[in-house]
Structure 1
């Protein structure tokens, strides 16, 4: 069953998929019915799931699930990945690729850095400890709302800045 994303509890499980480019306003509007339809129809072993899906910052698909109602099963997770692949094809972008890391730029735009270029970006000063990083590995809605994006030095990227 679809619920508005903000109505999911802080403990709700989330999956974040980063798009290879920002969506246009027209694309965001066009994809809304599909996000709602997916959330409405998503099930686990025949049980209705209390779920939501939305795009944030025009570049991140966030799928949320209230596991207090029903947990995701392997089959339901597979169906969510199929949905993400369908979105990739419909929008002509990548959502499942992991080679790009996203940061919030000074103008509020999302900046992508290739993982293999990360050390050089830090050495060049393009990335600083206080650069706001979109840590797409967070898995609960509460963490998303509390600190996403977060300073790079407060994430797994701290090691690139000499922090422990």
Structure 2
């Protein structure tokens, strides 16, 4: 399936890595969900993906049908069900995801600050911008160096200290 670059994207980041069995089960739940995901009775052109065993990404091609309040609410419900079933936290925006040696890690905001202060994380460290909203931005601006991300402003004191 080809999706418009302007397709809407929602990213849910886990506080911990999914094991292989969890990833398979989560993918099955998401596949069943997107097959029946509708907005005002219209089938949404949608897909769900898991990236790096940490991220659930929902994509809706709004050129076909727009996601509405009710359809977005239903997607949040399924994410909350996954969160509950697997004892995950998928809504904490203060967990920071980053890559070191091509491996993804997640840290609390405080631990992330400590890693910056200890020079374990720097301006070249790849971070994940979960605020991207379109497929095009997801593909081009989701994984970026800290120096090119909103993270730089939040952690400026630690980076300059």
Above 0.5 in TM-score?
A: yes
- Give me the whole-angstrom Cα distance separating, in 1, the residues matched to 2:110 and 2:19: 28
Name the structure 2 match of 1:10.
Answer: 5
1:158 and 2:152 aligned: yes
How many residues are treated as equivalent by the alignment?
156
Residue of structure 2 aligned with 1:49, choices 44, 51, 59: 44
Task: Give me the CA root mean square deviation.
Answer: 1.6
Name the structure 2 match of 1:70.
Answer: 65
Residue of structure 1 aligned with 2:56, choices 53, 58, 61: 61
- Give me the whole-angstrom Cα distance separating, in 2, the residues matched to 1:24 and 1:119: 27
- Give me the whole-angstrom Cα distance separating, in 1, the residues matched to 2:93 and 2:20: 24
Deviation for aligned residue 1:72: 1.2
Deviation for aligned residue 1:47: 1.4
Deviation for aligned residue 1:43: 0.9
Conserved? CA contact 2:4–2:63, under 8 Å: no
**Secondary structure in 2 matching 1:14:** strand
Deviation for aligned residue 1:57: 0.5
Cα-to-partner distance string for 1:60-114 (whole Å, 9 max, x where unaligned):
00000001111111111111100001111222211112221100121x2222222
1:123 and 2:144 aligned: no
User: Structure 1: which 5+ residue stretches go unaligned?
Assistant: none
Name the structure 1 match of 2:82.
Answer: 87
- Give me the whole-angstrom Cα distance separating, in 2, the residues matched to 1:154 and 1:16: 19
**Secondary structure in 1 matching 2:122:** coil
1:26 and 2:13 aligned: no
Conserved? CA contact 2:129–2:141, under 8 Å: no
Conserved? CA contact 1:42–1:48, under 8 Å: yes
- Give me the whole-angstrom Cα distance separating, in 1, the residues matched to 2:147 and 2:20: 32
Deviation for aligned residue 1:120: 3.6
1:134 and 2:128 aligned: yes
TM-score (norm 1): 0.87
Residue of structure 2 aligned with 1:96, choices 91, 94, 110: 91
